Amino acid sequence: MGQVMAYEYQKEPDPEFATRTGEFAMLLYSIVGVITGTILPHLASRDRRLLAFNEDIDEDAELARLRHTVREWRADAARQGKPLRLPIMPFLLRNIWTGALLLFSLLTFSTLFISTVVQGMLSLTLRLQATIFISLVGVCWAVAMWVPFAIIMEVLKDGSSPNSTALAARRPSHTRVLSTPPAIRRPQIDERQPLLRRRSFEAYASNPDEIPIAPMAGGTVLGIHNLAIVMPQFVVALVTSAIFRVVDGTTNPDEPTDGHTYLGKTGVGWVLRFGGLMTLFGALIVRRVSPTPTEKAMRRRLGEMQLLREETNP
Contacts of 254 (CB under 8 A, 6+ apart): none
Say whether pLDDT at 279 is over 60: yes
Q: Does residue 196 contact residue 59 with C-beta atoms inside 8 Å?
A: yes
Distances (CA, A) of 97 to 139, 284, 310: 11, 11, 34
Higher pLDDT, 195 or 31: 31
Residues 213/219/220/225 CA torsion (nearest 10 deg): 120
Runs of H (alpha helix) within 171-212: 195-205
Task: Please state the rounded mean pLDDT for residues 92-99.
Answer: 93
Q: What is the pLDDT of residue 310?
A: 80
Three-class SS string for 226-288?
HHHHHHHHHHHHHHHHHHHHHHHCCCCCCCCCCCCCCCCCCHHHHHHHHHHHHHHHHHHHHCC
Sign of the CA dihedral with 45 first, then 46, 48, and 49 last: positive
Helix-strand-coil split of the chain, %, nearest 5: 65, 0, 35
Residues 186/189/194/200 CA torsion (nearest 10 deg): -90
Task: Please state the rounded mean pLDDT for residues 303-314.
Answer: 75
Say whether pLDDT at 95 is over 90: yes
257 alpha carbon, distance to own chain's centre: 45
259: left (phi over 0), alpha (psi -120 to 50) or beta: left
Q: Tens digits of per-residue pLDDT, 136-145?
A: 999 999 999 9
Q: Tens digits of per-residue pLDDT, 71-87?
A: 888 888 888 888 888 88
Say whether pLDDT at 179 is over 70: no
Q: Tens digits of per-residue pLDDT, 213-222?
A: 556 677 788 8
- Separate counts of helices (H) and strands (E) for the chain: 10, 0
pLDDT class of 173 with cuts at 50, 70, 90: very low
Q: What is the pLDDT of residue 197?
A: 43
Q: Does residue 5 contact residue 25 with C-beta atoms inside 8 Å?
A: no
Report how far residue 114's alpha carbon sits from residue 3's, in angstroms, rounded to the nearest whole number.
Answer: 11
Q: What is the pLDDT of residue 4?
A: 65
Average pLDDT across the chain, whole number: 75
Report how far residue 49's alpha carbon sits from residue 42's, in angstroms, rounded to the nearest whole number.
Answer: 16
Say whether pLDDT at 23 is over 70: yes
Which domains occur in the chain, in start order?
A: 2-172+194-312 (1.20.1250)
Q: Tens digits of per-residue pLDDT, 96-124?
A: 999 999 999 999 998 887 655 544 443 33
Q: Tens digits of per-residue pLDDT, 45-73?
A: 888 888 778 777 778 888 888 888 888 88
